[in-house]
Structure 1
């Protein structure tokens, strides 16, 4: 029996999302945002536990699984999923909530927290870089720049042809080979392939990268440095927990450096021997970290 009810939810932003819903709506709300190339299944080990005393929403974000896939790169700029998030909270009459994000979901969570501090009461980030730190390391940390060259590949308009050539099964293997123990994800492979095989899904997912303003310089490039990197950046106003698998091959531990002035009320939980997909690579550890911090916050 599932720990949640998967509901189709129409939003004021014009998209319809599949949303995992669990728990008592009168309990404090917590919203879980997945990243690439996943779905609400990112949080399959956390939803049931959190639902014991929270009202949990875990959407398949626009472009993923069976949620709406509007055409055009412009429909995947980060402000669009942020608007979806706020519309989702409004749809369930949720004023303030704890927001959790992993990977691209974490990028959206950072932005939502910066732009909607009146709605985001607490923030939990799992292996997702702060926008200022990430852009800075892409210029100043050559190891992170090298690790991020895949973004340029994903932005190539012919990348779907490459995937068609090798097939979704091989793309699955390549997507996780460098990042996790296959034994921890192989049972989910049919689910991934079914979700990725939805009409337009692969292009929609890749459009998140194509729509992003993040500048990923080539390894031999010396581009002009964005002026904002040497100026002030607004600090977050809410308590924030960052959970970080230190074996992440795509997002290096340098993403934790320089966070303190950007996040004054910051707790960092570093996970040794855990990679990028921490919510299901080390589910009990991640759930406990979330639980312990929420309890300390009185949430």
Structure 2
């Protein structure tokens, strides 16, 4: 069982986050951001390993697990967890750091790289699409559009009633069976059900989808394209590693096409036979990819 402490951290953004803290503060910092519908537990296999020679922070982001769950969709727009991230780094006196994100955590990591390039020294993304490519493929790639229709379902204000009727246990089974190797997370079911069963947790987690400006056209729709798709998009300037489980059924491999034009210093590690939840489906491969890439750049960036 992984061993690390959870620390309750009050941030000036108005939320309190539980944060897995591991390693010596004097070591190089790395911040790990989880996605939906998880918590710091997403990184349970990586936290202890990186604590050997890094200072590790892995927060339960707002709305998840026991962290604060502010009421209202407006409290989950992407700028809010982005502000939490920067405030968390400030709270620990961290200026520049390696940032890793999976799923929604990866979306926030992309935003941090684009909006706070002076803070993010190195970027690691695990199965989280670049914002430009994701929005573009939702208009231009019908397979990705089809795979993303669940977002429209989860934005429905009545979706919580469906979860209630199904029950959290069945929702767990259905979600992980559809998108990942269920057998590899079966033993963690009790942990996830406890986190999802917290008052307001399901709504708070779903509010991340409701608050995003991402447009998901219906399969038979031909809506007007967002204007930013027709303009140059700013590059991600720091060294970036993208680890991709190639069997991901929600974020298809098309998300890797053209990525090198938006991320000049890009390394892609494709994990064949691995699904969306790569950090626990193939923990050794993910940790090895992260470590190998970071070790090769250990002396290149302060």
User: Does the TM-score normalized on the shorter chain lie above 0.5?
Assistant: yes
Q: What is the alpha-carbon distance in structure 1 between the residues aligned to residue 230 and residue 254 of structure 2?
A: 18
Q: CA offset at residue 235 of structure 1? A: 0.2
Q: Are the aligned partners of 2:101 and 2:109 in contact in 1 as well (CA < 8 Å)?
A: yes
- The match for 2:106 is 106
Q: CA offset at residue 178 of structure 1? A: 1.3
Q: What is the alpha-carbon distance in structure 1 between the residues aligned to residue 3 and residue 171 of structure 2?
A: 29
What is the correspondence of 1:66-81 to structure 2 with a 5 Å cutoff? 66-81=66-81
Matched, 1:204 2:212: no
- The match for 2:241 is 241
- The match for 2:117 is 117
Matched, 1:95 2:95: yes
Q: What is the alpha-carbon distance in structure 1 between the residues aligned to residue 181 and residue 47 of structure 2?
A: 22
Aligned-partner SS, 2:62 = coil
Matched, 1:85 2:47: no
- The match for 1:162 is 162
Q: What is the alpha-carbon distance in structure 1 between the residues aligned to residue 271 and residue 134 of structure 2?
A: 20
What is the correspondence of 1:262-277 to structure 2 with a 5 Å cutoff? 262-277=262-277
Q: What is the alpha-carbon distance in structure 1 between the residues aligned to residue 142 and residue 100 of structure 2?
A: 29
Q: CA offset at residue 2 of structure 1? A: 4.4
Q: What is the alpha-carbon distance in structure 2 between the residues aligned to residue 36 and residue 11 of structure 1?
A: 22
- The match for 1:174 is 174
Q: What is the alpha-carbon distance in structure 2 between the residues aligned to residue 151 and residue 250 of structure 1?
A: 10
Q: Compute the TM-score of the two structures, normalised by the length of structure 2.
A: 0.98
Q: Are the aligned partners of 2:181 and 2:275 in contact in 1 as well (CA < 8 Å)?
A: no
- The match for 1:47 is 47
Aligned residues: 299
Q: Which string of whole-angstrom CA distances, capped at 9 and with x for unpartnered residues, describes residues 213-248 of structure 1? A: 000000000000112112100001100000000000
Q: What is the alpha-carbon distance in structure 2 between the residues aligned to residue 261 and residue 220 of structure 1?
A: 30
- Identify the range of structure 1 (223-232 vs 41-50) with the bigger mean alpha-carbon deviation: 223-232
Q: CA offset at residue 75 of structure 1? A: 0.2
Q: What is the alpha-carbon distance in structure 2 between the residues aligned to residue 176 and residue 229 of structure 1?
A: 32
Please tell me the root mean square deviation across aligned C-alpha atoms, in Å. Answer: 0.8
Aligned-partner SS, 2:243 = strand
Q: CA offset at residue 137 of structure 1? A: 0.2
Q: CA offset at residue 4 of structure 1? A: 1.2
- The match for 2:254 is 254
Q: Which string of whole-angstrom CA distances, capped at 9 and with x for unpartnered residues, describes residues 140-170 of structure 1? A: 0000000000000000000000000110001
Unaligned runs of 5+ in 1: none
Q: CA offset at residue 3 of structure 1? A: 2.4
Matched, 1:223 2:234: no
